[in-house]
Structure 1
Amino acid sequence: MRAYHFLIILTLLAGCGQNQAPEKQAPAAASPTPPTSPDEVRVSAAQMQAAGLELGSFTWKNLASDVQANGVVDVPPQNRASVSAVMGGYVQSVAVLPGQQVQRGAVLAVLRHPDYLRLQQEYLQSRARVTFLQQELKRQQTLDAEDVGAKRKLQQAQSDYTSEQANLQATAGQLRMLGISLVSLNQGRISPSVTLTAPISGNVAMVRINPGQYVNPQDILVELVDPSHMHLELQVFERDVNQVRKGQQVVFRLPGQRRSPDMTATVYLVGKSFDPEKRTVNVHAHLEPERDDLIPGQYVAAAIQTGAARQRTLPEEAIIQAGEFSYIFAQTAPDTFRRIKVKPGTIENGDVALLLLEPLSDSTHVVQRGAYFLDAELKKGQDAEE
């Protein structure tokens, strides 16, 4: 009897379990609404807090207005030398390396060629002939004074002497250009080689020769640069050149050194002609103070300060560099930010003057810290759509 009651209870319990309503599942979290523009990005409050996003508004400051320019570090023409051979020859040895510092008169290379020997031979022969013709002229002058010799012989002796003397002087000039010592040559010491020496003191910028190579007079063998008077050669667009004046300060930096301290120069000369292709004008600026940590030929990005004006500014970390343009992020809703195109200008104490390329109210909340996080989220969303 007890077993029968136990079976009835089990049956009732099983029926109750089958009639029991299933538990309600928790509703799925709503997916965020996709942005309506490719320049918009949506983030949650937790993401904003984790990224350390800080919002603020534009700050108006009196900053120097400027003209943007690009250019290079350069030296005056007299501080640059290209060394060539006066006469063609074979390179016997090279005494310098690129980057090496040399003093004026230092040996750069040694050349050899049979023509160097022939030229010295011609000089010695011409020198001996001049001596002979000088003595012959004196004899004819003596005979003429005694009315013994013919006038024609005297005139011929005078002509031969003058002609050979001119030939001797020309040959001596060629030897001096080659760097061959006439004092040693007059003592009978003939040199089979010539030495190329540095015409200025400076650094070896380029070496284009090696031993055994044949070089022609038109070939540039070694280039020297004296960096003692470096300056800037800037290119200013034609539309901006009317704002540039002598004496204005130039603030410049090297590409890739955005965080490095700015360097300064002063406008010394504004060109009076422009490049018809680039539509730019050359502006020459002197470094102040002169520096020895720059290299001639380095590219620079410069700002020529033309005056002071009240301008919108944001901190440097609020600006995203993206190729040709720069961007900032403006808040359009509590969880939505829009990328705005801007043109950065003068940088002063970490604040950058901005020219807005899209309309934006001064009261708009702008991201001042964390812009790179939003840029990464924007790109992530674009990649997901693709």
Structure 2
Amino acid sequence: MQFKIISIYSLALVFALSSCSGKKEEEKTVYENTKFAKGGEDTVQLSDQQMKSVGITTTTIQDRNMEKLVRLNGKAEISPSHISSVSSIMGGHIKSINVINGSHFSKGQVLAVVEDPQFIQLQQDYLVTKAQLEAARLNFNRQKDLNTSKASSDKTLQTAQADYSTLNATLKGLEEKLRIIGISAKGLSTGNIRSKINIYAPFSGFVSKILVNNGQYINPADTLFELINPTGLLLELKVFENDVNDVKVGQEILVYNNQNPDLKSNAKIVSLVPSIENGGSATAIAKLSTTNTEFVKGMYINAEVNISSRYTQGLPNDAVVAFENKNYVFEDLGKSKYKMIPVVTGISDDQFTEILKADFLKDKKIVQKGAYSLLMMLKNKAE
């Protein structure tokens, strides 16, 4: 009885294995049964079963009016020439700071006030020299008159002239020193000498860094503020390799940030770095047409480039396949035989892809539906 049960189980196992083996044979993919023509690994021959499975349709090269929209992304940066460090011409103690980090300022606005006794001394030296120069001028004129009548010697005249010239040069130097610390020598008198000077903004912009505190003593070499001039805002945009030939210097673009995507600003591409980076992209530099305070250094931005429409030749998108960074189409040779042909593509839209120098495809039947399946067959054969 036990022997019969074992025999029944063994017979059932044999039938099960046989059934599985049969099913696997039926489920062989079209790739396993693909025949390759003697012409090489760029040609594939399909069986009737494969033709039904793949469902190939064909098309031909077509003349079309095409337009391309290239989308770019990147960051807002500031040109180094528009980042300025501000310091005091002369040392002193910080009396007050009138801005905060990130605040906007206008050209000529007082950023800080510095106080020191040397400012008083400089103004005093100017006023004393000015008075001495006036006395030297009068003496020089008097000596000229006396020398004309030989009442004084030439040496005395020369000494008077040298004194006048020396004091005049000294006064001009002091006047220039006062100018660069923001004190007008023209209106200076003994009644308005001051111990403080103002640090003025050289342009309109934003405060990037404040590097001092109230009461701190600063030297002429110390940086007080780092300022950003927004007119130097540049947009560094990534351009993928397949779009590099379509993006040109001088093109108008629309840019926007992620926080406010509906507010788009005009910009222009001013430079294109002629190299492809490791990530497969090049860098385009754009500049805003008008200053926009919405864009700040370090902000991620997006851009849209409309490529001019042109009348060209193209194929439906699914007729063009890519493999190892190259593009191909399949020509229908008849009798279920197909040949892979390399092509150079141009712009593309939602439906069609431009084929450059496509005259050699004229009058050829090109696979549309099923092109990718044919590519997989060739790929599997190569492997």
Q: Which of the numbers 97, 100, 107 marks the counterpart of 1:97?
A: 100
Q: Alpha-carbon deviation of 1:161?
A: 0.8
TM-score w.r.t. structure 2 length? 0.55
SS of 2:188's partner is helix
1:160 & 1:278 partners in 2: Cα distance?
72
User: Structure 2: where are the runs of 5+ without partners?
Assistant: 1-64, 319-346, 354-367, 373-383
Deviates more, 1:229-238 or 1:165-174: 229-238
Using the alignment, how far apart are the partners of 1:109 and 1:152 within structure 2? Answer: 52
Q: Tell me the equivalent position of 2:184.
A: 181
Residue by residue over 1:323-349, the C-alpha shift from the partner in whole angstroms, topping out at 9 and shown as x without a partner, is xxxxxxxxxxxxxxxxxxxxxxx999x
Of residues 127-136 and 204-213 in structure 1, the stretch that sits farther from structure 2 once superposed is 204-213
Question: Does the 8 Å CA contact 1:251/1:263 hold for their aligned counterparts?
Answer: yes
Corresponding position of 2:213: 210
Give the letter aligned to residue 299 of structure 1.
Y
Instruction: Give the counterpart letter for 1:165 in structure 2.
Output: N
Rounded to whole Å, the distance in 2 between the matches of 1:311 and 1:147 is: 107
Whether 1:159 and 2:162 are equivalent positions in the alignment is yes
For 2:184 and 2:162, locate their aligned partners in 1 and report how far apart those are by CA, in whole Å.
29
Partner of 1:199: 202
* Residue 137 of structure 2 corresponds to residue 134 of structure 1: yes
TM-score (norm 1): 0.54
Deviation at 1:312, TM superposition (A): 5.5
Identity, in percent, stands at 29
8 Å CA contact 2:75, 2:300 repeated in 1: yes
Q: Show the counterpart of 1:144.
A: 147
Cα gap change, 1:158 to 1:288, in 2 (>3 Å) = closer
Contact 1:249 1:267 in 2 (8 A): yes
Deviation at 1:104, TM superposition (A): 2.6
Q: 1 CA distance for matches of 2:352 and 2:222? A: 50
Q: Which residue of 1 aligns with 2:261?
A: 260
Matches within 5 A, 1:1-386: 64=68, 66=70, 68=72, 70-74=74-78, 77=81, 81-227=84-230, 230-234=233-237, 243-254=246-257, 260-261=261-262, 263=264, 265-270=266-271, 283-287=284-288, 291-302=292-303, 304-306=305-307
Which consecutive residues of structure 1, in runs of 5 or more, have no partner in the other structure? Answer: 1-60, 314-345, 355-360, 366-386
| Alpha-carbon distance, 1:264 to partner | 5.1
| Secondary structure of 2:111's aligned partner | strand
SS of the equivalent of 2:223 reads coil
Measure the CA separation in 1 of the matches of 2:161 and 2:297.
57
**Alpha-carbon shift at residue 131 of structure 1 (Å):** 1.4
Aligned CA distance change for structure 1 residues 82 and 347 (closer, same or farther; 3 Å): farther
Q: Closer, same or farther in 2 for the Cα pair 1:122/1:297, shift >3 Å?
A: farther
| Structure 2 CA distance for partners of 1:233 and 1:352, relative to 1, 3 Å | farther
How many angstroms does 1:111 deviate by? 0.5
* Distance verdict in 2 for CA 1:131–1:245, change over 3 Å: same
* Residues 94 and 213 in structure 2, CA contact (< 8 A), matched pair in contact too: yes
Corresponding residue pairs, total:
262
Structure 2 CA distance for aligned equivalents of residues 211 and 141 of structure 1: 56
Deviations 1:125-164 (A, max 9, x none): 2112211211211121111011111101111111121111
Separation in structure 2 between the aligned mates of residue 185 and residue 289 of structure 1, nearest angstrom: 42
Paired residues of 1:90 and 1:212 also in contact (CA < 8 A): yes
Q: Distance in 2 between matches of 1:347 and 1:206?
A: 46
Distance in structure 1 (CA, Å) of the matches to 2:160 and 2:281: 66
Within 1, Cα distance between the matches of 2:142 and 2:155? 13
Query: How far is the alpha carbon of 1:72 from its aligned partner?
Result: 1.6
State whether residues 85 and 227 of structure 2, in contact with CA within 8 Å, keep that contact through their aligned partners in structure 1: yes
CA RMSD of aligned residues (A): 4.4
Structure 1 Cα separation of the partners of residues 352 and 213 of structure 2 = 53
2-structure distance, mates of 1:282, 1:197: 37
User: For residues 69 and 101 of structure 1, do their structure 2 counterparts lie closer, same or farther at Cα, with a shift above 3 Å needed?
Assistant: closer
